[in-house]
Amino acid sequence: HDIPVPPGSSARANWFCMEDYHVYSSENLVDWTDHGVILSQTTVPWVRGNSYSMWAPDCVEKNGKYYFYFPAMNRIGVAIADKPYGPFKPQEQALSGIGGGIDPCVLIDKDGKAYLYYSMNAIFVAKLKDNMIELETQPQRIPNLPTRGLVEGPFTFERNGVYYLTYPHEVDGQERLEYATGDN
């Protein structure tokens, strides 16, 4: 959640300022329960306690564990829990093999293999190992997407055998949601 920029922090003025994550749940999508902070910049060993850069995350379940992928300081980390509302335990280090990135998204395919998508002035994808905390392949830039105005927020999913990749794209000062499709 965004907070006002604290005095003396390293956060950029008039920009997103996020120090932690909360989980909310609802039985009816009207009434919500705040389960509190599930992860904070002060509990992740590799994140500076005054960075305020915990931006758009993603969470997936695999084999009874919940894997929470989060960006901080232009790196991507993973925290693990037994329940979707935590408590989440962060890994000691950010994911190795990613030079920089934000806005992670994980797709678990029909065969159980997991793929991490993220942004860094382009959209990249890497296959995750079965342990969900290491890369099995080196990140690859996804080809045939816009090369200008593409900065963040990839989201991918499969429906009826078609894979969709949605992303914001800025053209002439206007941001719009676009998508690409594929069959594998």
pLDDT of residue 14: 79
Instruction: Give Dmax over CA atoms of the chain in angstroms.
Output: 51
Residue whose token pair is 């995350």: 57
| pLDDT above 70 coverage of the chain, percent | 100
pLDDT of residue 7: 81
pLDDT bin (cut points 50, 70, 90) of residue 77 is: very high
Among the ranges given (65-74, 127-136, 143-152), the one the predictor scored with the smallest mean pLDDT? 143-152
pLDDT of residue 19: 93
Tell me what the mean pLDDT of segment 102-120 comes to: 97
Q: What is the pTM of this model?
A: 0.94
Cis peptide bond N-terminal to 87, omega within 30: yes
pLDDT tens column, 9-54: 777 777 889 999 999 999 999 999 999 999 999 999 999 988 898 9
State both tokens at 143: 């080809």
